[in-house]
Amino acid sequence: MLLGDCRGSHLDVILNDPRFPGVDRRQTLLFSATFPSDVTQLANKVLKKNYVKVSNGARGRANTRVKQVFVQAEGICEKNDKLFAMLEEQRDRLAKDGAEWRTLVFVGTKKHSDFLAFSLADKGIKAASING
């Protein structure tokens, strides 16, 4: 990931390499869940001047069709127990009345994401680990 914690340093090396095509000679796609000022500055630097920005139309707010839930838990064991209980309830609701839910669970690391997806699959809950 080029924009990890050291945002831009790896990217600057690539952009400043004389063999790297200029803005007018390449197609550049930039995806970000958020656009803080440093990402906006990067977009202005690496994208063509007439770039297209697509958003959900509600700057700084979640899509109204998305339900955000905050559940307080103490420690990793309680977090996992509550998460598994919520997802098992959704799975059972789907089996009962066909009401399908899609749930995104954010974690801090790829390792945690992979472990969580494996643990959920082990409990019969369809899951995929998406990283990057």
Confirm whether 20 is domain-assigned.
Answer: yes
Residues 10 and 51 in one domain: yes
pLDDT given for residue 3 in this prediction: 53
Of 54, 71, 74, nearest to 105 by C-alpha is: 71
Measured CA to CA, the distance from residue 49 to residue 25 in angstroms comes to: 13
Mean pLDDT of the region 3-29: 79
Final residue of a domain: which of 36, 61, 86? 61
Of 129, 88, 87, 127, nearest to 112 by C-alpha is: 129
Residues 49 and 104 in one domain: no
Confirm whether 42 is domain-assigned.
Answer: yes
Tokens matching residue 33? 């869940």
Q: 77-107 pLDDT, tens per residue? A: 899 899 999 988 888 888 888 777 778 888 8
Residues 83 and 50 in one domain: no
Confirm whether 98 is domain-assigned.
Answer: yes
Q: 23-51 pLDDT, tens per residue? A: 889 888 888 777 788 888 888 888 898 88
Tokens matching residue 76? 């990793």
Residues 45 and 83 in one domain: no
Name every residue whose Cβ is closer than 8 Å to that of residue 68 and which is 6 or more positions away in sequence.
Answer: 62
Q: 104-131 pLDDT, tens per residue? A: 888 889 999 999 999 999 988 889 998 8
How many domains are there within the chain?
Answer: 2
Percent of the chain scored above 90 by pLDDT? 20
